[in-house]
Structure 1
Amino acid sequence: MNIFILNAFLAISWSALIGSFTLSNLLIGYIIGYAALWVARPLFKASNYFERVWRVLRLILLFIYELVISSFQVVWDVITPTHLSSPGIIAVPLDAETDEEILLVANLISLTPGSLSLDVSPDRKTLYVHAMFVDDPEILRREIKEGLERSVIEALR
């Protein structure tokens, strides 16, 4: 059985035991189930599930951090009389290979204020991004590749 499905079953069982199917009870049940499965991991065949959970959590935290920072940056640029934005379009070479990886990278970029994924090249090797603050295209390209793209690839592979 897939360990994630087993963990989800334990979370649902926890909520049933408590008698309330709220998001907080499901989250607590998931955490307790994760801990129980982590202790029992020698019983399962080799799996990267336990590491993947941490990588997905890291991706979520990175996205929240980027969301907050870029929101403040955009708000500051909008409310101050001098506009510091220098919009531009950059081409980001992709290491993401699957449709899911490319889709997630493009959507996370688009969900971040001040940036928008425009297109993916036909060979799926380049993502075109419009950004509000492109002071140095190479720095922005490196931030996307070493930040969101790397985290997405680690979480999905």
Structure 2
Amino acid sequence: MTGGRWRDRGVAALGLTVIWVLLWGSFTPLTMVGGVVVAVIVLTVFPLPPVTYAGRIHPLSVLRFAGRFLTDMVLASAQVAALAFRFGHVPRSAVIAVPLRAPSDLGLTMTAEALSLVPGSLIVDVDRKRGILFVHVLDVSGPDSVERFRQDVLDLESRIIHAFGSPAERHALGEVPA
């Protein structure tokens, strides 16, 4: 096993141990040792595939992404709440296919997860080979709102790529030469 692979397994074991301690709700030597034992067993029985991360974290872009993501969550929560209390209105929903421009596994996953956390949208399927997200969207009024939502997803993908993406992914967005 290479040094990077050992590091990845160590990070995964540390993460699983932290989750174990948080689930038990007590920070004691016994829960720490139990967490390490469970982590080693889980990683041995269910080995993770090798994941390569060719990107680089860009702190300013991470802050932009986080700020806009929190804003989107608050606004969408208010919109869904208002929709729930609107009498006499039956919201129309749709499943929209959104082809991503830089569909790496990490970019696809992060975009799907961020999108699912925003109220009013939910990932129902992913075509990993073609890089397409199929998103259920609440309260779609017509073709214009479908295109507006599709552009919002592409903007989200762009913010994620700017925050965590590789030069090749940025090039796929058409913004940085490879």
- With the shorter chain as reference, the TM-score category is 0.5 to 0.7
Q: Identify the residue that residue 97 of structure 2 maps to in structure 1.
A: 91
**Secondary structure at the counterpart of residue 124 of structure 2:** strand
Residue 156 (structure 1) aligned with residue 150 (structure 2):
no
Task: Give the Cα separation in 1 of the matches to 2:113 and 2:88.
Answer: 30
Q: Deviations over 1:74-132 (max 9, x none)?
A: 00011121336221000001113221111110011110111101111141421100010
In structure 2, runs of 5+ residues without a counterpart are 1-55, 166-178
Task: Give the Cα separation in 1 of the matches to 2:102 and 2:72.
Answer: 20
Structure with the larger helix share: 1
Q: Identify the residue that residue 7 of structure 1 maps to in structure 2.
A: none
Task: Give the Cα separation in 1 of the matches to 2:90 and 2:150.
Answer: 19
Of 118, 126, 145 in structure 1, the residue corresponding to residue 124 of structure 2 is: 118
Residue 61 (structure 1) aligned with residue 67 (structure 2):
yes
Q: 1:84 to 1:144 in 2, by over 3 A?
A: farther
What is the root-mean-square deviation in Å for CA atoms of aligned residues?
Answer: 1.6
TM-score (norm 1): 0.63
Q: Identify the residue that residue 149 of structure 2 maps to in structure 1.
A: 140
Q: Kindly indicate whether the alpha-carbon contact (under 8 Å) linking 1:134 and 1:140 is maintained by their aligned counterparts in 2.
A: no
TM-score (norm 2): 0.56
Q: Percent identity?
A: 34
In structure 1, runs of 5+ residues without a counterpart are 1-47
Q: 1:155 to 1:118 in 2, by over 3 A?
A: same
Aligned length: 107
